[in-house]
Homo-oligomer: A and B are copies of this chain.
Amino acid sequence: MKTLIVYAHPEPKSLNGSLKDLAVSTLDNAGHEVQVSDLYAMNWKAVVDAADYGVHASSPLKVARDSGRAFDAGTLTPDVGTEQEKLLWADTIIFQFPLWWYTMPAILKGWVDRVFTFHFAYGVGEHSDTKYGERFGEGTLAGRRALLSVTTGGPEPHYAARGIAGPIDDLLFPIQHGILYYPGIEVLPPFVLYSTDRMTDKDYPDVAKAWEQRLLTLESTEPIAFRRQNFGDYEIPSLQLMEGLEPAGRTGFGLHVRG
């Protein structure tokens, strides 16, 4: 595998830092190629602004259009261009981050906002009676697989079907489906560690073993069965799921997973 690890934690000696280091060594020892985007170490610029698009920044700024023009012309800032190249190089992408306020830290959202430009991650493909662009199962990043490795402070029951935080699969849906599946990436079931605020050094060997196990079986892991947009499950252009496809009683984000 060619694996890109996108890692977002300010403290190298954190649990997230250890899990990132373990992923690098485990994959390397197994003969895989690994690149790491350590966003804090890179001092990653988190904020989209006109400086991202150079001469292609309009006045007034149009984020989508201007990012597409800069992408087309090859004039995106080098930091963004480099991340896009890493994504094109990789066949597997691991995101290592703590769940802060039920989603990713700002620095990682800023990586998405800046790297996933128009014409690269969205605004790809034609629109017709049977196709609404190349997205949700097609797109620039098709053929790649991603995995979220996430830590939470709170305990697992809070993230269960009836838990007060909401089901973890629903909390991660806007990332797994909305950010990753949108430009074509298949998404593997996440690796989630709960109650990490209460974790001690003696818990780490079991955590490490579970993580190594996931890393060494990535190639045989089945992705989440998100429904593809342009293959009959959705009405075009309303993109509403056709009636009757889902198991009885299923609603919400779960509609967009087959079976």
Contacts and interface: CB of A to CB of B under 8 A. Distances in A.
A33 B249 CA distance: 47
Contact of A251 (B110, B241, B251): B251
22 contacts: A10-B49, A12-B60, A40-B49, A46-B107, A101-B179, A102-B178, A103-B174, A106-B106, A136-B164, A157-B239, A163-B241, A164-B229, A164-B234, A164-B241, A166-B173, A166-B174, A166-B252, A170-B170, A170-B173, A170-B253, A251-B254, A252-B252
Contact of A112 (B101, B238, B253): B101
A11 B50 CA distance: 9
Chain B CB count within 10 A is highest, among A50, A106, A166, A238, for A106
Contact of A102 (B62, B179, B229, B251): B179
Contact of A178 (B13, B40, B166, B256): B166
Contacts of A237: 155
| Identical copies of this chain, number | 2
Given A47-B106, A105-B113, A106-B107, A166 B177 contact: yes
A21 B179 CA distance: 30
A36 interface: no
A32 interface: no
B229 A64 contact: no
Q: How large is the interface on A (under 10, 10 to 19, 20 to 34, 35 or more residues)?
A: 35 or more
A254 B256 contact: no
A101 B105 CA distance: 14
The 10 A-B residue pairs with the shortest CB-CB distance in the complex, in nearest-first order: A106-B110, A102-B178, A13-B60, A157-B238, A102-B174, A106-B109, A164-B239, A11-B61, A46-B46, A252-B252
Contacts of A166: 173-174, 177-178, 252-253, 256
Interface string A57-73: 00011111000000000
Nearest to A39: B47
Interface in A115-169: 116, 136, 153, 155, 157-158, 160-167
Contacts of A229: 164
Nearest to A157: B238
Contacts of A188: none
A224 B116 CA distance: 33
A100 interface: yes
B102 A10 contact: no
